[in-house]
Amino acid sequence: MNERHFTPSTENKQRFWEELYDNLKKNPNEILRDSNGKNPLNTAIIANALPELLELLIERQPELVSQPSPEGNYTLHFLLGRAVNSTEDKRMYHKLVRKVIEIDPSIFYKQNKRGLTPINLINRQDYAELRLVTNDALLDGDINRLDHIILNLNDDILIKLKNDKNLLKNNTSRIFIKAIDAIIVERNNILFKHKEKLSQEASNELLQQEEKERLKAIKRAEITEKVRLAKIEQERQHQAALVLQKGYRGSVERRKYQEHLKQKGLNKKAIPFVPKQRDPLLDILPSDDEIANPWRYDKITYGQNFAFGNNKLQTLEKDLKKLRTL
């Protein structure tokens, strides 16, 4: 077979693909190669080439559908991942989808480097194409393909498929609808359990937080009590130090006094005289001698007068008044 090389670029307009298609059609033994070493079929799909050219490439070079791009995308990824507005183009592109699946059925389940299968891309782009792909699987009775569709679509799309009146009605479709109901119930149960688990985790986290706060409060109370006791102990040590200092100063004063007595030649064991504070009652109340002999000689009257207290002439009334004021 002869090879025809082409270099894809932004200059490749529709006219370029038309001429390329005409040349390939005129030369049945000619195959197409990408000058950059890429898959020419995928390159043509990305460049919006003629559907007729894509169909010719798939028929003439079927091995291209199983050659992934550097990102791990296969031909079915590119076909299902593009939006088609025209009804005629949609019908033509879906014809290509069926051809690719017939050539390599496993391509329907292959993942790219992001873990996406072709059905994941169509879910984001075109529901009408999704309906056609599902109808093909129902028509073929391919349970595995239907299971793959169910497992890779969200609940909203599944419910839309279930209620779609344009969906093929046969025995397989009834099984498909039951499978949709089952998977939705299972997902709801999983979602409920997940929410319940999150709620339990949140509750446990709240309890743990409360327990931490309680332990912190106990710790703060313990620290506060330790600080209070430390202050009390510090004050006690301070007072004890004052007593020791006072005693030390007293002993120093005594030694100084004894040294003074020694220098004066006096008794070293003598105790310094400390005048005691006189009780004020002693100036008012009579002494024992006065009580025993209340009559004493008075220098002023040169006679014996009845007088209590000090040597001054006082009457009993004044003494009683002083006693009442105490």
Is 70 exceeded by the pLDDT of residue 87?
Answer: no
> Is this prediction's pTM over 0.85?
no
Tell me what pLDDT residue 281 has: 56
Half-sphere exposure of 298 (CA within 13 A, CB side): 15
311 confidence band (pLDDT: 50, 70, 90): very low
pLDDT-wise least confident of 117-121, 196-200, 234-238, 279-283: 279-283
For residue 295, the model assigns a pLDDT of 56
Least confident of 75-89, 175-189, 290-304: 290-304
The pLDDT, as a whole number, for residue 101 is 92
pLDDT tens per residue across span 218-256: 999 999 899 888 888 888 888 888 777 777 777 777 777
- Assess whether pLDDT exceeds 50 at residue 312: no
Average pLDDT over residues 70-95: 80
The single residue listed with the structure tokens 């609808």 is: 177
The pair phi, psi for residue 306, each rounded to 5°, is -85, 110
Cβ contact 12:44 at 8 Å: no
For residue 306, give the 3-state DSSP assignment: strand
The mean of the pLDDT values for the chain is 79
Residue 109 — pLDDT band, cuts 50, 70, 90?
very high
Q: Where in the chain is the domain with CATH 1.25.40?
A: 2-170
Q: In this structure, are residues 58 and 96 in contact, taking their beta carbons and an 8 Å threshold? A: yes
More confident residue, 297 or 170: 170
Of the pLDDT bands very low, low, confident and very high (cuts 50, 70, 90), residue 176 is confident
Q: What is the spatial distance between Cα 318 and Cα 324, in angstroms, rounded to a whole number? A: 10
Digit-coded pLDDT (tens) for 135-162: 888 888 888 989 998 888 888 888 888 8
The arithmetic mean of pLDDT across residues 250-268, rounded, is 73
Can you tell me the mean pLDDT for 179-201? 84
| pLDDT at position 308 over 70 | no
pLDDT for 110 equals 92
- What is the model's pLDDT at position 131? 86
Kindly list the distances between the CA atom of residue 278 and the CA atoms of 83, 283, 284, in Å, as whole numbers in the listed order. Answer: 118, 9, 12
Residue 204: count other Cβ atoms within 10 Å of its Cβ.
10
Note the CATH architecture for domain 2-170: Alpha Horseshoe (1.25)
**Predicted confidence (pLDDT) at residue 10 exceeds the cutoff of 60:** no
Q: What mean pLDDT comes out for the span 16-27?
A: 84
**Comparing 125 with 185, which gets the higher pLDDT?**
185
